[in-house]
Structure 1
Amino acid sequence: MSKPLRLGLAGLGTVGSSLFRLIDEEADLIASRAGCPIVVSGVSARNRLRNRGIDLGDVAWFDDPVALANDPSVDVFVELMGGEGGAAEASVRAALSAGKPVVTANKALLAKHGNELAELAEDNDAVLAFEAAVAGGIPIIKTLRESLAGNTISRVYGILNGTCNYILTRMERENLPFETCLAEAQRLGYAEADPTFDVEGFDTAHKLAILTSLAFGTKIDASSIYVEGIREITTADIEAADELGYRIKLLGVARRTETGIEQRVHPTMVPKSSAVARTDDVLNAVAVDGSLVGEIVLVGPGAGGNATASAVAGDIVDVARGLKLATFGRPAKMLAPYVQSDMHAHEGGYYVRLTVVDRPGAFASIAARMAEKGISLESIVQRRRKPSAEAPATPTPDDPQPVILMTYATTEDQIRAALDEIEKDGHIAAAPRLIRIEEL
């Protein structure tokens, strides 16, 4: 068997510690598949004294991850620190500049600097591998870059954040408000103390930007993604979706259109019969529409130490085997400039929740405003407000009442223009709630 492949491991958090343990406990299995032993020769982390449940033995410790990346005892640099810049960026650049393969799980780094890092890797005949950066243990990067290389991709979409999926699942199952489910997610370790990155959709957007590049051969442009989080979703919305045959999920969607690539992250009503609708709790699901295979769906754990370490280990084994592929599926210099499709031209059905003042002519006025903008309504449902965790007071006959509108396919511009006019008419007591419908 060949000489050992020596890893420099930067970051010993949940994923880094799980990877170290995996390499130690499954050494023979990994060596048989890689064609050589895989060993950790050096590590770097912020706190040398922290108890991580692993025995580093005589593995060399580096306070500076850049020094680890440059050390001659390191054949492959594994970056598991996280963050779009700082030490993570500096050490990855150092390793690639030295011609060393890099394996990373850092979606924020790739979303911000992926184009430059891909060129740097190719200029120095190095590998930049990142299966673990999107959807944890689901092999979606390999699927898009290798298995579907003969397909023209028209759409890629999915549930890419387990925290949001857990919160929405709990809200539905137990009729609990968002804040209660968020607090439980934080208690269980699914959500950070500051959950903004997850619940406002930015984590999903970073992952979607990477998938878009792989699927459509464009440069990464995370700044062009339309992003909307789940904070405003209520149990009333979830209950209405259920009655109408849908479930609400936070989706990332990238789609090829006649005018460019549409990238969007937002709460979405999906048919109960769809695979993504049946993906619950912290699981992720990614679907790809290919010209030859039709739609394929991959479902699995999108985060967690073992699932993410599994993906990292797969990339390390590929490096050991000598697999060398263009970072985003084609040479970085051949990636096309990203051309953004206008989100306001997006076309589809919409769920609209209005809080309507109970007065004569209100419904007729609302329907008229929709008709003026060319919007056809599939249904109008008036639902008497009832006590809930979010609105516990007993309603009175004079209270504004929720009205649910379901539209046929229309454009973002048309629906927003109609809602602007409805607000001006003064028949509603709160801002409209809009949720897109994705027919999967």
Structure 2
Amino acid sequence: MVDTDTPRPKTLRVALLGAGNVGAQVARILLDDAESLAARTGARLELVGIAVRTIDAPREVELPRELFTTDASALVRDADVVIELMGGLEPARTLILEAIEHGASVITGNKALLAVDGPSLYEKADAAGVQLSYEAAVAGAIPILRPIRDSLAGDKITRVMGIVNGTTNFILDAMDTTGAEFPDALAEATRLGYAEADPTADIEGHDAAAKGAILASLSFHTRFALEDVHCQGITAVTADDIAAAKDAGFVIKLLAIAEKLETTGATGVGTTGVSVRVHPTLIPREHPLAAVHGAFNAVFIEAESAGELMFYGRGAGGTPTASAILGDVVSAARRMVLGGPGRTETTTGVLPVLGIEAVTTQYYIGLDAADQPGVLAKISALFAENGVSIETMRQTVHRESDDGGNGSAELRIVTHRASEAALAATVEAIKGLDIINSVTSVLRVEGV
């Protein structure tokens, strides 16, 4: 029941930290749509200031100069709602803590900070009774965090698989559709503005790993940090890998995967835990995630009662991400108007983090092997010795020897499901065979 005796705020003071691509669009919407936002929240949202490093820096959106300030600390101390879009760890962390200390609700899209220091920020917000919201931290405009936290709160999520980095999806999709090599696809992504001047965080998987930690924390009601995520980027994926995957009916995507697993230790006692990992992955072309093209994002959820769900949309860009930010702003504002505790996350238990070795999956292995009798038999025997069975084996390329002797064959093997530990041991054993010239690729397979 709403307490009608408590006076309701007529105006909420909003401070914005950062006026980059997303921040400028957020400011524009707050100014241009003030009346409609007030109708939705029950109070006027007054943008009282925008903290920036340089007031006169060129910006794509023209905003009133009098709103800009370089004193971010003073700005957050005098606000009811603080929107943090600066990125990075500092001074974002200090300013968010300062805002919470002064009773302001905080909206952020800072996935790097949340992945590293999220648990302490959630605790501070809980203790202060304010709201800490971060829908824009994962998958841009796609409403994914609130559905996990609220709509699926009565269900049990068992697995989440997401394409949560638009840059890498654009690169891999370009390689798949045009046959381009990785450097050429990266150059095109940079030219079109999908990749930063320094694309390391994207192509090495760090950005997706930060988002994976956030998804896992909400999905399994346990706090996961960036160091809990096994991370592998896409720089080693070649055009040959893409072509061979296509020939076998697969597409390669960089996936963030969080799943609940049951493991049995040496004593026979079972353990329930969660594995969180990011790596290039082969998925069947009929899987819904295979149809996610360009710089789009998608998150595929498996739950006990709801079954399979997929959320799809633009994963980046100023206006789409601003949509997610404003959704959180309206939610926080309505709570402040109507009353009630702040909402951050739901942590009901602590599930142990399971390393990549606890995962059961399939492997796709590329081999450059000697073209001579008995090669396939030796390889098959070694797989059997390590407890891994082969689902398919293809000889995709055959090269003659320059000196007239035996040439070499390119073998592509897809295994049945086995433990990550057994699969890794098999790959190491293969490298020791004298008939193997090289192991050209090792990729995991999901969604079969």
Matches within 5 A, 1:362-373: 362-373=375-386
Match of 1:262 in 2: 275
| Aligned 1:18-29 pairs, distance under 5 A | 18-29=25-36
Report SS of the residue matched to 1:383: strand
Whether 2:301 is the aligned partner of 1:301: answer: no
Q: Distance in 1 between matches of 2:314 and 2:75?
A: 30
1:223-372 alignment to 2 at 5 Å?
223-258=227-262, 259=271, 260-322=273-335, 324-330=341-347, 334=348, 336-372=349-385
Q: TM-score, normalised by structure 2?
A: 0.91
Of residues 129, 135, 140, the one that matches 1:136 is: 140
For residue 80 of structure 1, the aligned residue among 73, 79, 85 is 85
The 8 Å contact of residues 43 and 59 in structure 1, kept in 2 or not, is answered as: no
* Matched-pair contact (CA < 8 Å) for 1:40–1:59: no
Partner of 2:267: none
Q: Which residue of 2 aligns with 1:390?
A: none
What is the letter of the counterpart of residue 71 of structure 2? D
What is the CA distance between 1:44 and its match in structure 2? 0.7
Is the contact made by 1:220 and 1:338 (CA closer than 8 Å) also made in structure 2? no
Q: What amino acid does structure 2 have at the position aligned with 1:272?
A: R
Task: Give the aligned length.
Answer: 426
Partner of 1:47: 54
When residues 58 and 194 of structure 1 are mapped into structure 2, their CA distance, relative to the original with a 3 A threshold, is closer
1:389 matched to which residue of 2? none
The residue number in structure 2 matching 1:188 is 192
What per-residue deviation string (whole Å, max 9, x for no partner) do you get for residues 147-173 of structure 1?
111111111111000000000000011
How far, CA to CA, are the matches of 1:176 and 1:238 in structure 2? Answer: 9
How far off is 1:58 after superposition? 5.9
Relative to structure 1, the CA distance from residue 346 to residue 58 in structure 2 (aligned partners, 3 Å threshold; closer, same or farther) is closer
Q: Which letter maps to 1:210?
A: I
> Is it true that 1:215 corresponds to 2:219 in the alignment?
yes
Query: Which shows bigger deviation, 136-145 or 45-54?
Result: 45-54
Please, which runs of 5 or more residues in structure 2 have no aligned partner? 1-7, 263-270
Quick check: which one's strand share is greater? Answer: 2
Distance verdict in 2 for CA 1:204–1:385, change over 3 Å: farther
Q: Secondary structure at the match of 1:281?
A: coil
- The answer to whether the 8 A contact 1:221-1:338 is kept is no
Partner amino acid for 1:15? Answer: V
C-alpha displacement at 1:261, in angstroms? Answer: 0.3
Q: Which amino acid is the alignment partner of residue 57 of structure 1?
A: P
Partners of 1:218 and 1:337 within 8 A in 2: yes
Residue 268 of structure 2: aligned partner: none
Residue among 112, 118, 124 paired with 1:120: 124
Render the CA deviation track for 1:51-103: whole Å, top value 9, x for unaligned. Answer: 21334326443313222211x2x2111100001x2111110010011111000
The 1:420–1:54 alpha-carbon spacing in structure 2 relative to 1, beyond 3 Å, is: closer
Structure 2 counterpart of 1:80, which letter?
Answer: L
Q: Which residue of 2 aligns with 1:34?
A: 41
- Structure 1 equivalent of residue 430 of structure 2: 422
C-alpha deviation, 1:366, in angstroms = 1.4
Equivalent residue letter for 1:358: D
1:23 Cα deviation from its structure 2 partner: 1.7
User: Matches of 2:312 and 2:193 in 1, distance apart?
Assistant: 21
SS of structure 1 residue aligned to 2:438: coil
Counterpart of 1:173 in structure 2 is 177
TM-score (norm 1): 0.92
Report if aligned partners of 1:66, 1:87 keep a CA contact under 8 Å in 2.
Answer: no
Q: 1:325 to 1:274 in 2, by over 3 A?
A: farther
Structure 1 2/397 Cα, relative in aligned 2: closer, same or farther at 3 Å? farther
The equivalent of 2:167 in structure 1 is 163
Report the more deviating stretch, 222-231 or 26-35: 26-35
The residue type equivalent to 1:315 in the other structure is: D
SS at match of 2:139: coil
Unmatched 5+ residue regions in structure 1? 387-393
Match of 1:403 in 2: 411
Q: What SS class does the counterpart of residue 190 from structure 1 fall into?
A: coil
From the superposition, tell whether residues 197 and 385 of structure 1 become closer, same or farther in structure 2 (CA, over 3 Å): farther
Shift of 1:111: 0.5
Query: Do the aligned partners of residues 166 and 314 (structure 1) sit closer, same or farther apart at CA in structure 2, a change above 3 Å counting?
Result: same
Aligned-residue offset at 1:138: 0.6
**Matched residues in 1 for 2:390 and 2:300: separation?**
29
Judge which range, 104-113 or 53-62, deviates more: 53-62
Shift of 1:293: 1.0
Q: What RMSD in Å do the two structures reach over aligned CA positions?
A: 2.0
SS at match of 1:138: coil
Match of 2:10 in 1: 3
1:326 maps to a residue whose letter is: R
Task: Tell me how far 1:397 sits from its aligned partner.
Answer: 8.3
The structural deviation recorded for 1:338 is 4.6
Look up the SS of the partner of 1:149 in the other structure: coil
Task: String of CA shifts for 1:99-145, please: whole Å, max 9, x gaps.
Answer: 11000000001001110000100111111010000100011111011
Quote the residue 1:63 is aligned against: 70
Which secondary structure does the structure 2 equivalent of 1:321 belong to? helix
> SS of the counterpart of 2:397?
coil
Distance 1:59 1:104 in 2: 23
Q: Which residue identity does 2:425 align to in structure 1?
A: A
CA contact (8 A) 1:69 1:95 kept: yes
| Residues 1:110 and 2:123 are matched in the alignment | no
Contact map agreement 2:130 2:343 (CA 8 A) in 1: no
Per-residue CA deviation, residues 263-322 of structure 1 (Å, 9 max, x unaligned), is 111111111111111011110001221222111100000111011100000000011111
Q: Distance in 2 between matches of 1:274 and 1:300?
A: 17
Please tell me whether the aligned partners of residues 41 and 59 of structure 1 are also in contact (alpha carbons under 8 angstroms).
no
Which residue of 1 is the match for residue 5 of structure 2?
Answer: none
Partner SS, residue 429 of structure 1: strand
Q: In structure 1, what is the equivalent of residue 98 of structure 2?
A: 94
2-side partners of 1:291 and 1:30: how far apart?
37
- Work out the percentage of aligned pairs sharing the same amino acid: 38
**Is residue 2:380 matched to residue 1:380?**
no
